């Protein structure tokens, strides 16, 4: 890294941000792409968000990521918001266009890219989405944009599942949507092609839990867990034992970061696919 007067600063704001992998990922990409940038983390305390954002403008920070708990609150301090981020109601990436801050959300794109990289088609598939928080909303919205056949959302808090389902129904007439609790009786397990765990169940330190009993699924499904700590969750281990294909949240994490870089820099002939593979290996040694 060769820091000089023209080095661009990028960063993550959130609270807490300890142990975030974003600096490792973005600085790795800067180094691989030979871009003169550096990525830092700022632990932003409650009530100082507005001041932080105006100082970012004053300092001409080129772009930043936003994480818990500011993905929604940040929206009121931005000059414009991309349609997808607006629709799902959360921003995780901001680009500074000559003093105008524009918000985006790359979580859904990152998820989708990780599937596409494995050659997985979306349009003919039924997705079972577990959870109805931020990750669920981003992933469900992106799947609807891509024309998934059907999206079923299960959650403990039914109102949250209903909110996402209604938004999809209103905006994407061709996509079939359903929602319910975990013991949802009006739903056929055999129609599911891909299960996506968007809950925090199974995340370190509570690694002995799974979000749903995979024995309910008689046909082969792909099991995707957005949790990446641990890299192989109990849910993924159980899926493997049943002979199901699996994908870990690390690929979504890497691809949402790459999508942020693409917003900041454009494609610019960067070899993101090569970087993605190398990053995966690099992170396997860095996730605790
Ligand atoms: P994120 O932004 O990572 O999606 P979030 O918005 O806090 O995080 O959402 C967490 C999701 O995990 C929610 O759907 C939550 O369910 P509720 O809405 O019913 O609270 C789900 N979740 C968390 N712990 C859970 C548990 N023990 N069992 C089932 N679902 C759980």
Q: What is the pLDDT along the chain (288 residues), one digit of tens a residue?
A: 689 999 999 999 999 888 899 999 999 999 998 999 999 999 999 889 999 999 999 999 999 999 999 999 999 999 999 999 999 999 999 999 999 999 999 999 999 999 999 999 999 999 999 999 999 999 999 999 999 999 999 999 999 999 999 999 999 999 999 999 999 888 899 999 999 999 999 998 999 999 999 999 999 999 999 999 898 999 999 999 999 999 999 999 999 999 999 999 987 777 888 888 889 888 887 776
Nearest-atom number in ligand 1 for the CA of 155 is 19
Residues marked as catalytic: 71
Cα of 97 from ligand 1 centre, angstroms: 34
Contacts 24+ apart (CB under 8 A), 142-147: 142/84, 142/107, 142/108, 142/109, 142/111, 142/112, 143/108, 143/112, 143/175, 144/168, 144/171, 144/172, 144/175, 144/177, 145/84, 145/108, 145/172, 146/112, 146/122, 147/122, 147/123, 147/174, 147/175
Cα of 143 from ligand 1 centre, angstroms: 19
Nearest-atom number in ligand 1 for the CA of 156 is 19
Nearest-atom number in ligand 1 for the CA of 136 is 4
Could you list the beta-strand ranges (E) of 60-99. Answer: 63-66, 80-81, 93-97
User: What is the best residue among 89, 156, 233 to mutate for testing ligand 1's pocket, by most ligand atoms within 8 Å of CB?
Assistant: 156
User: What is the best residue among 68, 74, 131 to mutate for testing ligand 1's pocket, by most ligand atoms within 8 Å of CB?
Assistant: 131
- Ligand 1: lining residues by beta carbon, under 6 Å: 131-136, 155-157, 160, 198-201
Cα of 132 from ligand 1 centre, angstroms: 7
Q: Going by CA atoms, what residue is nearest to atom 8 of ligand 1?
A: 133
- pLDDT value at residue 288: 64
- pLDDT value at residue 156: 97
Q: Is 157 helix (H, G, I), strand (E, B) or coil?
A: coil
Cα of 156 from ligand 1 centre, angstroms: 8
- pLDDT value at residue 272: 84
Cα of 35 from ligand 1 centre, angstroms: 37
């Amino acid at each position: 890294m060769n820091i000089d007067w023209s080095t661009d600063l990028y960063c993550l704001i959130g609270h807490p941000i300890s142990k975030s992998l974003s600096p490792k990922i973005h600085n790795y990409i800067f180094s691989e792409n030979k871009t003169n940038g550096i990525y830092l983390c700022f632990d932003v305390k409650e009530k100082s968000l507005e001041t932080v954002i105006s100082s970012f403008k004053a300092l001409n920070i080129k772009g930043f990521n936003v994480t818990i708990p500011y993905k929604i609150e940040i929206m009121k301090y931005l000059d414009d918001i991309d349609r997808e981020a607006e629709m799902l109601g959360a921003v995780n990436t901001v680009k500074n266009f000559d003093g105008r801050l524009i918000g985006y959300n790359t979580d859904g794109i990152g998820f989708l890219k990780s599937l596409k990289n494995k050659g997985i088609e979306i349009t003919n598939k039924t997705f079972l989405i577990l959870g109805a928080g931020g990750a669920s909303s981003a992933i469900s919205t992106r799947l609807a944009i891509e024309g998934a056949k059907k999206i079923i959302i299960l959650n403990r808090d039914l109102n949250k599942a209903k909110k996402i389902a209604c938004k999809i129904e209103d905006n994407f007439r061709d996509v079939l949507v359903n929602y319910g609790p975990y013991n949802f009786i009006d739903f056929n397990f055999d129609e599911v092609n891909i299960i996506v765990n968007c809950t925090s169940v199974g995340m370190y330190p509570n690694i002995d839990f799974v979000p749903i009993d995979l024995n309910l699924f008689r046909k082969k499904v792909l099991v995707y867990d957005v949790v990446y700590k641990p890299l192989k969750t109990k849910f993924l281990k159980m899926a493997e034992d049943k002979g199901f294909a699996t994908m870990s949240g690390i690929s979504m994490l890497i691809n949402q970061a790459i999508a942020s870089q693409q917003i900041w820099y454009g494609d610019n002939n960067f070899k993101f696919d090569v970087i993605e593979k190398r990053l995966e290996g690099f992170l396997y040694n860095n996730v605790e």
